[in-house]
Amino acid sequence: MKRTIAMTFLIGGALLLAACHGKQAVVNQPTAGSVVPAGGSTSGSAAGSGTSMTPLAGGSAAAAAIANEANNAPLDTRVIYFDFDKSEIKPQYDDVITAHARTLTANPTLRIKLEGNTDERGTREYNIGLGERRAQAVRSALMLQGVADAQITTISYGAERPAVEGDNEAAWSKNRRVDMVYMP
Amino acid sequence: MNEAFRRLRFLLLLTAGCVSFASVANGEFVVQITRGQDNAIPIAVVPFAPPQGAAAPFDVAALVAHDLDGSGRFKTMDRKDMIDQPHTGAEIAFDDWRRLNNDYILVGRLNAVAANRYDIVFWLYNVLTRQPLLGFQISTDTAGLRLASHQLADKVFQAIVGIRGAFATRIAYVSVLGHVPRRTYQLVVADADGANPRVIMQSAQPLMSPAWSPDGTRLAYVSFEDHQPSIYVQVLKSGARRLVSDAAGVNQAPAWSPDGRKLALTLSNRAGNLDIFVLDLATKGLTRITHDPGIDTEPQWSPDGKSLYFTSDRDGGPQVFEKSLARGGRALRLTFAGSYNARPRVSPDGSQLAFVTREHGAYRIATLDLKNHNGMQVLTKGQFDVSPSYAPNGAVILYATRERGRGVLALVSTDGRVQQTLMATVGEVEEPAWGPFRSD
């Protein structure tokens, strides 16, 4: 539908005619990507240490490798938490890093995705950088223990995917994290 | 209610010390001003005469009054106090209006010229001198009456304040619905007052950083729909999308060059180091701008296209830097107060930067005079004030904040004197981007 807007100036006795044409904005939903179903990247993450093992779709080698390590608490831990404005891995997670590094080096076809996150405070794009820094800290720690570069992918979600909602430290402390997600 | 078409609702809050305020009901909205200007200009916006023998298809005067009050610079007269409703200059009894303390009066009428087609005729008078400042006729159809009313308000604003009005513009923002872990992210384009929200993109994965092309026809944004962050450019009228950057790792923070041909953006290397590049949209050529091991991101072009402002933590914490694209050389640090200054946005005339500063743990909007780098001013008082965006007339800054546990949008005038909150009825609203002056 075309809408024409014409403006007529009436000031004193002078008459100025100016016309500008414009189309009525028609905004359609894009044909591609209008609703994108949720992917599988949230599997394996969430709460703190002691989370139960997440079954992996397909990937029987990966599932078997993880199943063989049943009852191994550090391997059960799939999330590492960080202090505010920090990307250093705290010493309490040393066992976790070691356990995952051992699993990955023992199974060179296994791949892991490290998802870096921040709490909601600060600017969104700078938080993408901080989340990436955290993911890289875990990646470096794994590689230091022999994990191959090709087995590790990092992604930063910054503040965009909190684990817990809330404008308080209880929530923020659960969002400053790296989720360790084994890929099928 | 159709969640895909939410309305932004404006809430009215009076705080101590607020001298002038306005309460206007306009269809679905009630405007709330947190803090108005002390010397707001009193103006009478008289209801326009409806087309002869018909009901008014739209309350033009109400929307004009809503816009003028919302700017904080005007105080419009309450309709119920109007003993008389003139519709032309000849009908105005100026002494009466002066006695009611109005400096200006706006009168007009609607004429039906065809089915579904109207002429809006209006005049703005100075009550004291009895002289007309302007008179116009706008011709439009029914669907165009809302936009025409905003354009009318722009004319009144400019005639009295001397700055071009920005009422007839649009904003984009990200809306987040639902709760973790099942959230829905939407990219929404709406009128500057929040009306007519349209979802232009929806995803189960995050959407970020909407950026208007300078001609207002396209939005660039970041989407995680492919389970990695990528930058898309979408044409608003057709919805056609183009993937413009999907390098391995980070693709973030798109910013249009003033000529609309390039995007500055942030990419990462294998070690996760973020740096700023410029992408030529036609040739797809990439030019690297920063080369340092810190986080370099959130680029913005100067209005003359010759430099980039950006955030870098190369000195420890994030600060705002400027780099000349023509001369190259080292980036110049612009912010020195405090340990956190990020996400620069430059005013349309290039004279001022707005950015996010952290003071005592609170994130606030601050401005910096670019001619005098010591002239930093903190404009807002919240705890989580982020994502500043200038109106195209440079008079107001739109930003995101949190109120009662929810993400909302807010406005502050660049001199800090006028503040307003816009709250969505559903979900959270963040990352606002104010569009350019319309050319349609």
* B135 to chain A, closest Cα gap in Å: 5
- Nearest CA among B219, B227, B220 for reference residue B203: B227
Query: Between B202, B237, B272, which is nearest A136 by CB?
Result: B272
- Nearest CA among A2, A6, A18, A20 for reference residue B143: A2
* Residue among B117, B170, B274 with most chain A CBs within 10 A, to mutate: B274
Whether B439 has its CB under 8 Å from any CB of chain A: the answer is: yes
Query: Between A5, A125, A165, which is nearest B252 by CB?
Result: A125
Cβ–Cβ gap A11/B132 under 8 Å: yes
Distances (CA, A) of B216 to A63, A168, B256, B435: 50, 38, 11, 6
Torsion sign across C-alpha atoms B205, B211, B213, B216? positive
pLDDT in tens, B25-72: 222 223 455 666 678 999 999 999 999 878 899 999 999 999 999 888
Is residue A47 a contact partner of residue A54, using CB atoms and an 8 Å limit?
no
Distance between CA B72 and CA B143 in Å, rounded? 28
What residues in A contact B402, CB-CB < 8 Å? 167
Please report the residues numbered 59 through 118 in chain B whose beta carbons come closer than 8 angstroms to any beta carbon of chain A: none
Cβ–Cβ gap A123/B225 under 8 Å: no
Which residue from B minimizes the CA distance to A143? B271
Q: Which residues pair with B35 in a beta bridge?
A: B419
Cβ–Cβ gap A122/B363 under 8 Å: yes
Which residue from B minimizes the CA distance to A42? B181
Whether B264 has its CB under 8 Å from any CB of chain A: the answer is: no
Name the token pair of B242: 């183009």
Which residue from B minimizes the CA distance to A27? B237
Mean pLDDT of chain B: 90
3-state secondary structure of B410: strand
Distances (CA, A) of A102 to A67, A68, A105, A143: 14, 12, 5, 11
Query: Between B135, B225, B298, which is nearest A125 by CB?
Result: B298
Query: Between A8, A26, A135, which is nearest B237 by CB?
Result: A26
Mean pLDDT in order along chain A per 10 residues (184 residues): 40 39 37 35 38 50 58 83 97 97 96 98 98 98 97 97 96 98 92
Is residue B121 a contact partner of residue B111, using CB atoms and an 8 Å limit?
yes
What residues in A contact B229, CB-CB < 8 Å? 128, 155-156
Cβ–Cβ gap B141/A27 under 8 Å: no
* A116 to chain B, closest Cα gap in Å: 11
Distance of CA B314 to the CA centre of its chain: 31
Distance of CA B25 to the CA centre of its chain: 21
* B256 to chain A, closest Cα gap in Å: 16
Please report the residues numbered 154 through 183 in chain B whose beta carbons come closer than 8 angstroms to any beta carbon of chain A: 179-183
At B412 the pLDDT is 93
Distance between CA B254 and CA B252 in Å, rounded? 6
What residues in A contact B148, CB-CB < 8 Å? 5
Residues 6+ apart with CB under 8 A from A148: A104, A105, A108
Distance between CA B140 and CA A162 in Å, rounded? 47
Query: Between A28, A125, A133, which is nearest B253 by CB?
Result: A125
Query: Between A8, A25, A120, which is nearest B137 by CB?
Result: A8
**What ipTM describes this predicted complex?**
0.89
- Please list the helix, strand and coil fractions of chain A in percent, rounded to the nearest 5, in that order: 35, 25, 45
- Nearest CA among A123, A126, A121 for reference residue A173: A121
User: Domain ranges in chain A?
Assistant: 43-67+83-169
At B161 the pLDDT is 95
CATH 3.40.50.10070 fits B40-161, yes or no: yes
Distance between CA B121 and CA B61 in Å, rounded? 12
Distance between CA A120 and CA A127 in Å, rounded? 8
Which residue from A minimizes the CA distance to B358? A122
- Please list the helix, strand and coil fractions of chain B in percent, rounded to the nearest 5, in that order: 10, 45, 45
What residues in A contact B208, CB-CB < 8 Å? 124-125, 158, 160
Please report the residues numbered 205 through 224 in chain B whose beta carbons come closer than 8 angstroms to any beta carbon of chain A: 205-206, 208-209, 223-224
CATH assignment, A43-67+83-169: 3.30.1330.60
* Residue among B237, B275, B320 with most chain A CBs within 10 A, to mutate: B237
B260 torsion bin: left (phi>0), alpha (psi -120 to 50), beta (else): left
Whether B138 has its CB under 8 Å from any CB of chain A: the answer is: yes
Distance between CA A116 and CA A101 in Å, rounded? 18
Residues 6+ apart with CB under 8 A from B223: A33, B201, B203, B205, B206, B207, B208, B229, B230, B231, B232
Distance between CA B9 and CA B434 in Å, rounded? 18
Instruction: Please state whether beta strands B332-333 and B341-346 pair in parallel, antiparallel, or not at all (unpaired).
Output: unpaired
pLDDT below 70 — which residues of chain B?
1-37, 373-374, 423-425, 440
Which residue from B minimizes the CA distance to A156? B250
Torsion sign across C-alpha atoms B148, B153, B156, B157? negative
What residues in B contact A167, CB-CB < 8 Å? 383-384, 402, 405
At A72 the pLDDT is 62
Residues 6+ apart with CB under 8 A from B100: B44, B77, B81
Cβ–Cβ gap B274/A157 under 8 Å: no
What residues in A contact B436, CB-CB < 8 Å? none
Query: Between A30, A128, A167, which is nearest B234 by CB?
Result: A30
CATH code matching the domain that covers B170-434, chosen among 3.50.50.60, 3.40.50.2300, 3.40.50.920, 2.120.10.30? 2.120.10.30
Cβ–Cβ gap B384/A167 under 8 Å: yes
Which residue from A minimizes the CA distance to B131? A12
Whether B140 has its CB under 8 Å from any CB of chain A: the answer is: yes
Q: Where do the DSSP E strands lie in B169-236?
A: 170-179, 182-191, 198-203, 207-212, 218-223, 230-235
User: Domain ranges in chain B?
Assistant: 40-161, 170-434
* A86 to chain B, closest Cα gap in Å: 11
Name the token pair of B141: 């159809």
Rounded to 10 degrees, the C-alpha dihedral B58/B62/B64/B67 comes to -120
